[in-house]
Homo-oligomer: A and B are copies of this chain.
Amino acid sequence: MGGVDLARAKRDASLAKVFPILNGVPDASDLPLSSQDLPKAVLSAREIEITEHYTVTKLIELLRERRVTVEEVTRAFLRRAALAQAATNCLTELLWDEAIQRARYLDSLSVPQGVLFGLPISTKEHHGMVGTEVTTSASLVAWIGKKHGSNLLYDTFWNEGCVFFARTTQPQTIMHLETESIVYGKTVNPYNRELTSGGSSGGESALIGMRGSILGVGGDIGGSIRCPAAHVGIYGFKPSIKRISTTGFRNTGTGKETISGCPGPMTVDRDGLELFMKVALSAKPWRIDPALTAKGWAPYTFTSPPKVAVQWWDGVVKPHPPMTRALREVAEACRDAGMEVVDWECDGLDHQKGWDILSALYWPDGGKEILGLLEQTGEPILPLTKFILHEQPTVKDLTQHELWEGSDLNTYRARYAQAWSKTGENGNREVDVILCPPSFGAAIPHGQSRYWGYTSHWNLLDYPAAVFPVTKVDPSLDAKDTAYVPRNSQDKFVHDMYSPERFINAPVSLQVVGRRQEDEKVLAALAEIERAMGRV
């Protein structure tokens, strides 16, 4: 496992540039439960201003108007990211030298270049990029040191003038809704280190949850953008597949067509989501990547208030009380703002069946490839890897004909689409978006993310979905329902997990889901809902 040492040494060397000049960071053993108060103890007022006081678009505006230099912004985020690393273990690498060099180059230009001019962007490790060849391992010990180049999406952002400055952790196999790997260990939630920051883009969420970055790139095949974003109370968006390129990402299962992941934004404000999509699509990536849909970003505008269907639960696992309260609060705000709000009934839609289809299609080779890679270096199989690979009875190496019968998938998708269309029958207006939990609860204690349904269901259907922060767990409002009788063993596991004290102050987020390929409508609906909540 010499590769592990190599990867850690590279990370540590990259951090060694900043720690001598970062005063007041507690020792690992003295870290507080919540990391939220650390920045003001460590960073200067100016650094706090730069990293906290601006939205993504506002910061770009300041940069383009040269009211702040790219180098000053970059250094502030580099230092805050290093602090986030100390607090949450969210980085695989700090790009100290590269980012400062890039910043100086951008500052040297007579005219600002690109619509992301000077914006620091953090990136998920397995996406890789130029200059990070030996440390793009997709969390696999076997792949440490295996060369890997840049990717199409990052090239686009680079051409638009961004600064890549930090690379973030993801779990083993990149298929947990938490973030732990043999290479980098465990990433923790910046609001409560006893809780997970979610996964698989949980390095991003911990970093952005600390405002060590304000725009990052995640990827989502079962919830990997939405779950971690929700767990730290930031914004995340899972676009429709084939909208954003994954060309050049490092991962197993390359060429698999059963269920695809998609990259997307994780960010501190809603506008950052749309900015990401606009920039990514304005480059017309479908002219280069033949897997993509040829469709530009066409913003959607509601001419009357959207009709919102609330999915109170999915019929399999009952959400924890703070999640139900968040739904209730937002539904009421929507109703008060003049929206039509109805219930989304899942009981006839059999979400459990959806999971049975999906969990098989994640590993059409029965996991052969990934298990072979783990075995190659004797990399221990982590419990949540076992959960998603070995404990799903559906996972097996499929024959071609068994694969074709994955057309169960299409039947299921068609049935769900029909249910959605049905809401528009008999003189009713069709539902525009579903408002639902992005998880059964707030961030949970480590090692317990064993129910994916609230996010993965929308991957199964390939429906675009955004998450946004709503509230925090409050024991005075979110008492346990001790009278509840769980429906099944998963439901019991989740119900037993809850006590309000355990989750105190953890962010609670919600999810907005649209019909297939209605990405623009989802972001428009999110804006309407947030306006109904009294936000700008």
Contacts and interface: CB of A to CB of B under 8 A. Distances in A.
Interface in A332-362: none
A400 B403 contact: yes
Contacts of A414: 247, 288-290
A40 interface: no
A499 interface: no
A293 interface: yes
A293 B517 contact: yes
A287 B421 CA distance: 8
B253 A404 contact: yes
A8 interface: no
A281 to B, nearest CB: 14
A260 to B, nearest CB: 11
A364 B257 CA distance: 13
Nearest to A397: B400
Interface residues of A, number: 41
A295 B243 CA distance: 13
A194 interface: no
Contacts of A461: 290
Contacts of A254: 404, 407
A22 B284 CA distance: 58
A256 B399 CA distance: 12
Contact of A365 (B256, B295, B397, B401): B401
B255 A403 contact: yes
The oligomer's copy count stands at 2
Nearest to A462: B290
Interface string A391-407: 00000011111011111
A521 to B, nearest CB: 11
A400 B517 contact: no
Contacts of A417: 287-288, 290
A438 B511 CA distance: 49
A253 B291 CA distance: 21
A294 B290 CA distance: 17
A220 B39 CA distance: 61
Interface in A68-126: none
Contacts of A287: 417, 421, 515
A410 interface: yes
A369 interface: yes
A398 B517 CA distance: 31
Contacts of A517: 286, 293-294
Contacts of A397: 399-400
A288 B407 contact: no
A478 interface: no
A401 B253 CA distance: 8
Nearest to A430: B287
A257 B404 CA distance: 8
A421 B293 CA distance: 17
A269 interface: no
Contacts of A516: 286, 290, 294
Contact of A290 (B256, B286, B291, B413): B413
Given A255-B407, A255-B410, A289-B414, 16 more contacts: A253-B404, A254-B404, A255-B404, A286-B516, A286-B517, A288-B414, A288-B421, A290-B462, A293-B293, A294-B518, A295-B295, A364-B400, A365-B404, A397-B400, A400-B403, A403-B403
Interface of A: 247, 253-257, 286-291, 293-295, 364-365, 368-369, 397-401, 403-407, 410, 413-414, 417-418, 421, 461-462, 515-518
10 contacts: A286-B517, A287-B515, A293-B517, A295-B295, A365-B399, A365-B400, A368-B400, A368-B401, A397-B400, A400-B403
